Amino acid sequence: MIQITVFQSDNRVTAFELTGHAESGPYGYDLVCAGVSAVTFGAVNAIMELCETDLDIDQGADGGYFAVKLPTDIDSQKLEKMQWLIQGMIVSLETIEESYREHVQLNFS
């Protein structure tokens, strides 16, 4: 199962972490994993490009781990844009979780 933890402080997302594997299909054909990966990597790429900022990213070499810490020392306009992009990611992950609860669990901390 993929465990997704979204860390929040003062009503803002500060980081998120994905651990585990969906195991909803054979390696290379796991559509749940592909969906979760596309949503999270897409959000990270959008933040880096549209907010012109680097992120603190930690990724497991063989998959099964992806963690992102969001910067706090950026101007308020970029911070707001970054939060909107993250909220869009969360909505997409909630949609995946709703359909594939046995493979994905989203938690807030």
22-80 confidence digits (pLDDT tens): 999 988 899 999 999 999 999 999 999 999 999 999 998 778 999 999 998 899 999 99
The residue type of 76 is S
pTM of the model: 0.93
Neighbouring C-beta atoms of residue 18, cutoff 10 Å:
22
Instruction: List the catalytic residue out of 13, 33, 47, 90.
Output: 33
Among the listed residues 61, 62, 70, the one whose alpha carbon sits nearest the alpha carbon of residue 16: 70
Query: Is 33 one of the annotated active-site residues of the chain?
Result: yes
The tally of domains found in the chain comes to 1
CA distances from 35 to 22, 31, 42, 79, 103 (A): 10, 6, 10, 26, 12
Neighbouring C-beta atoms of residue 1, cutoff 10 Å:
15
Q: What pLDDT does residue 1 have?
A: 96
The residue type of 94 is E
Give the domain extent around 54: 2-108
Query: Is 21 one of the annotated active-site residues of the chain?
Result: yes
Instruction: List the catalytic residue out of 17, 19, 21, 55.
Output: 21
Here the CATH number for the domain that contains residue 73 is 3.30.70.1490
CA distances from 107 to 17, 51, 54, 87, 93 (A): 10, 25, 25, 14, 11
